Amino acid sequence: MAITMRSDLMKTGATRAPQRSLLKALGLTDAEIKRPFVAVVNSKSDYIPGHKHLNDISEKVMDGIRNAGGVPFEFNTIGVCDGLAMNHKGMKYSLCSRELIADSIEVMLTAHPLDAVVFIPNCDKIVPGMLLAACRLNLPSIFVSGGPMMPGEYNGERFGLSEMFEFVGAHAAGKIDDEQLLQYENHACPTCGSCSGMYTANSMNCLTEAIGMGLPGNGTRPAISGARRALAQEAGEQVMELLKADIRPRDIINKESFENALRCEMALGCSSNTVLHLLAIAYEAEVPVDIKVIDEISKTTPQICKLNPAGKIFITDLNEKGGIPAVMKELSKLGIINENALTVKGTVGERIKDAPAPDGEVIHTVENPLRKDGGIAILFGNIAPDGAVVKQGAVAPEMMKNTGPARVFDSEESACDAIYGGKINPGDVVVIRYEGPKGGPGMREMLAPTSALAGMGLDSSVSLITDGRFSGATRGAAVGHVSPEAASGGLIGLIEEGDTVTVDIAGRELVLHVDDDVIEERRKNYKAPEQELSGYIKRYAKLVTSGSTGAVFEK
């Protein structure tokens, strides 16, 4: 099949002699100019541990493209490290960066029309930002992430970044001293790669594989391994096959592949942030998936993996037991995996047929699951009529239902001050509001308050609800994405100190026990706090929609 090359727009014919002269300034030969041009979109950054090695990955990708007869052109995107941005103003810009990444890729690949794309993401918002761009541009595309970090180890204990935040709480409670805190700090993040647990970055890299846009191993092969670099070269070669066959993202990303990804999300107990991102990708790809569909899939998918931060098993352990293909193969026994779904290389059925059987520890069988429903639950109720999200697979059994007094805070910082100050009591329901997409703005990840509760020994007795969101590293009864948010008139903005609130995760309800007439009286006197905003964050607050719709911009 002859390849129709989009790059001909800028390089073919007498009128494109000026453009060819510019290409020759780059050192291209006449023979190379006639070949397919392939974009390599690299999120490399010097101060994100997950990205430190991405130039190595990129070099292998470009080797693969050249091996298969293409000409690679690399450019970089921005990227925010959520760990470095956590618990200060910088986190307001993390989710915001997702839309900027997608927009910047659209700009680059429209201004410079190339024929196919290899995306190299790692870390939280970069993976979904690139997936949004892939759906929007719909060029033959493949993803190869930088891979996960190895877990930290100290005194015979393995741990990751989530525990590092919890050690801060333990330090504040006097459970560990300065020297112990330093030793944990020195050992928590031993290599490059996306942080070692099933946090948002690894969750999204695994789901990119499950939805069919990455090769087997994309989500789980360690960042430091030779296997990761071999995967990068294979991705470079395979994108040329996609170009020849004219297979594009929207041929792969559809209702069937979305269901596969959502089944994996539930089976793995992924980050709650994946709900936000998958809804955004579905919106961009025009696939009919909403929060109610996610809730139904959660109810009918068993959780068969329990990875850090929910336990002591890490993403690299999952890799050793067969990774995502092994998980999908086990789920297929229930008839809930679409095996005919197309991927960047073959069908799902073809890639899972030789995957190993579950080992019973890292990957459980569907006959003996960790839980009968998914690792993520969607809650509704008068506080969240449009839904709220919790990573129920990381909640202690005794906290699946809690009714208690509301402890109300209008920012993450004020909540943290109260937690570290010993002002939160067992049974409390901590309410953090004005942290939503519009109210934050930016819907900050709040690992600091949840890890403070865990570090101080309160994660098994205190619930937390917010219109903001949580890190994939969060564990405990932490319910985020409460919609509508306070800044949009949601009921969470009318909760007062001492009100009785029920967080019923098993019953999927989030309820404020206050009479309707009292609520209406409060609403008459309600006024959201005003913020002084400028720059991109001000434009973002005006354009962004609800967390229940993926915090997307309206088209």
Cis peptide leading into residue 484 (ω within 30°): yes
Number of other residues whose CB lies within 10 A of the CB of residue 108: 18
Catalytic residue list: 471
Strand, helix or coil at 158?
strand
Tell me which DSSP letter residue 368 carries: S
Question: Are the C-beta atoms of 301 and 264 separated by less than 8 Å?
Answer: no
CA distance 266 to 282: 17
Separation CA 387–CA 510 (nearest Å): 9
CA distances from 196 to 170, 174, 222, 226 (A): 21, 27, 9, 18
E-strand stretches of 78-218: 116-120, 141-143, 152-154, 157-159
Alpha-carbon distance values, 18 to 22, 35, 148 (Å)? 7, 18, 44
Select from 20, 51, 53 the least CA-distant residue to 37. 20
Alpha helix locations (H) across 447-526? 447-455, 516-524
The full DSSP string for 515-538 is -HHHHHHHHHT--PPP----HHHH
Q: String of b and e for 392-407 (b: at least 16 CB within 10 Å)?
A: bbbbeeebbebebebb
- Give alpha helix (H) positions in 142-254: 161-172, 178-187, 200-211, 226-245, 249-252
